[in-house]
Structure 1
């Protein structure tokens, strides 16, 4: 959001790759993607290094985000309870990134307790709340209410708790995000609908948890993979007793294929590939240009939900997606960056 040096956090629209993760050093097997505070390429050099590949990486990341929203909605309404899906979500990154966590410690003693709790907000609590909300909220509503409001909650926490300031352009963007929330959630909160208001409130609660995580991550000074691995390991430990029995029953009931699909989508693509690709896109394009791709996620999710889930977006959802898209673009600071350039 408005945190200096945390461009990813203020523009990331979805919970698939940790929001500030690409703005810190991402290192694996000796390779790295890093920002200006840890040796990241200068903007001019990054833009000269094949921006086409950066656009491709960003678009693939957006596609992953969209499939995550639709895939999670399908899983919790057809095959698996939220806790079981959460195990699949965090098991893959927890195992793959365990070496990164091992070097830093599974419960870093140098981090304040509140910071560690804030980091864990993006794990099991976030996933359980969001996945439960997806049980009753249509896929087209997820985009405006979850990734669409994440910038708003990060900014509110920064303003109310940390005393950060907000420019006029970004304030206008946040106002548009609020209008998007009213368009999508207003009718259900007023009693028109079939209980979707419960899902709407849960999605907004999840976005608030993500805002807490964003600020905690900035203060943790963990690398991207350390944070993702730490959250994955602790989330897996918390979810195993809750979702383990249901996951075993689902496998015994012939849902092994569905579990495998979720493992690929939730764990590998969302938990690892999306993280690395978005960091690559930011290095090649710069944070502002990469941010311009983020609103495509909710749009694509609404389109995918038509053939995959049989869900036709309502007029309110379409309006909400449009307002949230413009709001996120304004809140990300992309237009302010162009003016300065």
Structure 2
């Protein structure tokens, strides 16, 4: 006869696990929706009247100000977890932004998605398998193969036509993806809350970019581009710099780094679609293949078709119901 108390505990644990999954999926989807628009707005900005340093300053100053109560509790730098916090700063802070923003000067928005958020989960998975001994499973491994196919398709086009300079942007985007992977893997090891980590990254990025970015903001406002500055403050600073990073941090916390990272493979298709009406950039065949491959890859790599094939509540093979 089943113990009612143990049944209630199991039911509560199942409800908590399901709620955590919903929160993780919600945070991941919110982040990728914002990042799709962020790619397009950043490419538009660096091709317009704003330098990469100026756009980066607008991105991080909002996080530094809005999340000041969080990072003030920690101080200018935490006493513990120095290396993980440093990796978070390098992987999602001002240096990362300058690498990615300069890459967007050479490649269209449709290339950015597969090579940046599309490649990042592949790098996270490789590190998780080689370093942390994580087992991916057949379907997730196939998903990462699809993501790699998308990357090779775009990279091959850049090598075939080196005269257009796209290969420079491709290399910078791959470097950015590796940096972002460091952030994803180090995030949970900081020992800090998401608001504290994002706030510290924003603070130090703002301090570093101020000498280069703030003069550009002042110049743009004096030249009559104040409305664009306000838009970038909202898009880069509030949405991409705060809301998306907090949402992605929640996904990492609830789903784990590799599963959360896999969702970013949905960004390429979204960015390519937004770029058509906003920038007038129509993806070519290589970009379409890259977007489709990474989209299929993320559906598989997210774990939706993984080892959960066993129905909830059904005994596993070789284990009797009620047994251990």
Query: For each residue in 1:165-222, what CA deviation from the matched residue of structure 2 results, as whole angstroms up to 9, or x when unmatched?
Result: 4433332222211110111121112335511111111111001001112222222111
User: Shift in Å at residue 272 of structure 1?
Assistant: 2.5
Listed as ranges, the gaps of 5+ residues in structure 2 are: 1-11, 312-324
CA contact (8 A) 2:60 2:206 kept: yes
Determine the C-alpha separation between the residues in 2 that align with 1:292 and 1:207. 13
Aligned counterpart for 1:170 among listed residues 124, 140, 150: 140
Listed as ranges, the gaps of 5+ residues in structure 1 are: 1-40
In structure 2, do the counterparts of structure 1 residues 88 and 217 end up closer, same or farther at CA, with 3 Å as the change threshold? same
CA contact (8 A) 1:187 1:193 kept: no
Determine the C-alpha separation between the residues in 2 that align with 1:166 and 1:66. 27
TM-score by length of 2: 0.81
Query: For each residue in 1:288-336, what CA deviation from the matched residue of structure 2 results, as whole angstroms up to 9, or x when unmatched?
Result: 9988965443212111111110101011000000111111222222211
In structure 2, do the counterparts of structure 1 residues 170 and 202 end up closer, same or farther at CA, with 3 Å as the change threshold? same
Query: Are 1:128 and 2:98 an aligned pair?
Result: yes
User: Shift in Å at residue 280 of structure 1?
Assistant: 7.5
Which residue number corresponds to residue 185 of structure 1? 155
Determine the C-alpha separation between the residues in 1 that align with 2:234 and 2:89. 23
Residues 1-341 of structure 1 aligned to structure 2 (within 5 Å): 42=13, 44-45=15-16, 47=18, 61-112=31-82, 114-121=83-90, 122-192=92-162, 194-276=164-246, 294-336=264-306, 338-341=308-311
SS in 1 for 2:118: coil
TM-score by length of 1: 0.77
Query: For each residue in 1:124-145, what CA deviation from the matched residue of structure 2 results, as whole angstroms up to 9, or x when unmatched?
Result: 1111101111111100111111
Aligned length: 297
Which residue number corresponds to residue 6 of structure 2? none
Determine the C-alpha separation between the residues in 2 that align with 1:166 and 1:193. 39
RMSD over aligned CA atoms reads 3.0
Determine the C-alpha separation between the residues in 2 that align with 1:73 and 1:66. 11
Divergent runs of 4+, >6 A? 53-58, 279-283, 285-293
In structure 2, do the counterparts of structure 1 residues 279 and 42 end up closer, same or farther at CA, with 3 Å as the change threshold? farther
In structure 2, do the counterparts of structure 1 residues 54 and 109 end up closer, same or farther at CA, with 3 Å as the change threshold? closer
